[in-house]
Structure 1
């Protein structure tokens, strides 16, 4: 689904699907999805497909659990190649790295972007994008950002205006909804 005609940018925020606990000797960065996570990601992929949620560009943390979530989402796509950029910053930095990527979306041919990342950064990003409407943020994420959750936001402007509270809440889907 493309943004509404008057909306220059649609943002999809995705928290990676449920991951296994780290085994001895396994770094947090290398934690894979567990069975529950693979099922969550498959449900999210089906929901995105049914609703026509097909981002023009994806920014994904290069942590294993995020890359595996993206892989499941890509396998469910019917369209052509997806522009994907993997980012260390989405794993190692705070939510400002997420906002920087959103703020850098100046290319008018890109109507929608997806960020696949981690909590608390993904939730903090949502809060920053919705800072002009804190009641909506609290209503949507009062219980936290679910694993394999998808928040959909529309921005009338791009760049810094989008990341300074310039987003409108469209919806939040969790694997439970799928």
Structure 2
């Protein structure tokens, strides 16, 4: 190798080292300039992750405690302490338990107490059960958001058929949605039950 080649090689190495140090200086300036923002961002990320982990642990603990309270109620349905604990930990599960007990005991007062529950399906089931008990199925079915609308119409029509009110039963069956999964039952009732 010639001296000229050696000098060129040394220049290239110095040039690359110079660029490396230049980038290191730029990075250092950037870090110094935005040091507080970087530290705050890292601290915020750590706090958010820590809070999320704590929240998940708390939710698992609440779920576990609610399951224990529910198991106690299954053993002894009169355990008021377990019922109160379930109500505070899992209100929707509490309402489901109250609903199941009200149905089992045919307790209309408990069903009425569930009318304003936030558990949508429990609310609607309670209204449906009260309607079947009071023969108010047509009123229940007239609600726009009634989940069991078609079933209530069919059940009401059957009650009318049992009382020989055939025209009223036919009118009620005709209100059942054509897309309903109960449409075959309606067709059978119209064909065989109502002549």
The TM-score range, normalised by the shorter chain, is under 0.3
Larger Rg belongs to: 2
Higher fraction of strand: 1
TM-score scaled to structure 2, two decimals?
0.21
TM-score scaled to structure 1, two decimals?
0.23
Higher fraction of helix: 2
Higher relative contact order (CA 8 A, sep 6+): 1
